[in-house]
Chains A and B, each alone.
Chain A
């Protein structure tokens, strides 16, 4: 079965704090792709990052970084020095290599509130 679990329903931090959003995935496929999307209060879904199962290198983009660990089936997302504009729902998602259609399987999402 393919599944994405985001155990943290809501996180609240004060501006400038670092915060990590957890994502654990399940798949039997050896080839798969992991994604993070951001959903700000305005409601749209914004693509943040894609990672394939053969590339375990961590990635940093400005204040954002991602830690992919196949050994624990996790793809965690860290925001350094959080800002109020980071307040949003963040979704982790999976596409399995056996999918002919490339449909995304989403986690439940983590609501991040950054307070000034």
Chain B
């Protein structure tokens, strides 16, 4: 069964450094998402992406964040200058369309030191 893949599974970065989280959505899916889960808390929406542009972003998704779909398969989340509070699990998700379920990757645990 096709799945969403995320790399790396764990990223440790110094505060102030840039980090890029990578995702390969399911190939026939059209809608892509990033969510964040701070340890022990709920999953929060960051951004949605459709037709090569951001369709919605949350208040969390400030100017330090950006997303890109550089080719036909990858979907990346970049944090320009990481802060301690960016430490969290980041999930990528995709869905085919309509209101079909979103399928999630296994997540990238980002630790900012």
Interface residue ranges, A against B (CB under 8 Å): 33, 35, 37, 42-47, 50, 52, 91, 93, 95, 99-109
Contacts and interface: CB of A to CB of B under 8 A. Distances in A.
B86 interface: no
Q: Give chain B's interface secondary structure class.
A: strand
Contacts of B100: 50
Enumerate the 10 nearest inter-chain pairs by beta-carbon distance, A residue then B residue, closest first: A101-B48, A45-B104, A101-B56, A44-B106, A106-B43, A101-B55, A103-B45, A47-B101, A33-B99, A108-B42
Contacts of B109: 43
Contact of A47 (B33, B42, B91, B102): B102
Nearest to A103: B45
A100 B107 contact: no
Chain B interface residue number, banded: 20 to 34
Interface string B89-107: 1010101000111111111
A52 B100 CA distance: 10
A106 B44 contact: yes
A101 B50 contact: yes
B106 A52 contact: no
B103 A47 contact: yes
A100 B56 CA distance: 8
24 contacts: A37-B104, A42-B106, A43-B89, A43-B106, A43-B107, A43-B109, A44-B107, A50-B99, A50-B100, A50-B101, A52-B99, A95-B99, A99-B56, A101-B55, A101-B56, A102-B31, A102-B48, A102-B95, A102-B102, A103-B33, A103-B56, A104-B33, A105-B45, A109-B43
B55 A100 contact: yes
Nearest to B89: A43
Given A46-B104, A99-B56, A108-B41, 20 more contacts: A37-B104, A43-B109, A44-B105, A44-B106, A45-B93, A50-B100, A91-B43, A100-B56, A101-B48, A101-B55, A101-B56, A102-B31, A102-B95, A103-B33, A104-B43, A104-B102, A106-B43, A106-B44, A109-B42, A109-B43
A106 B99 CA distance: 15
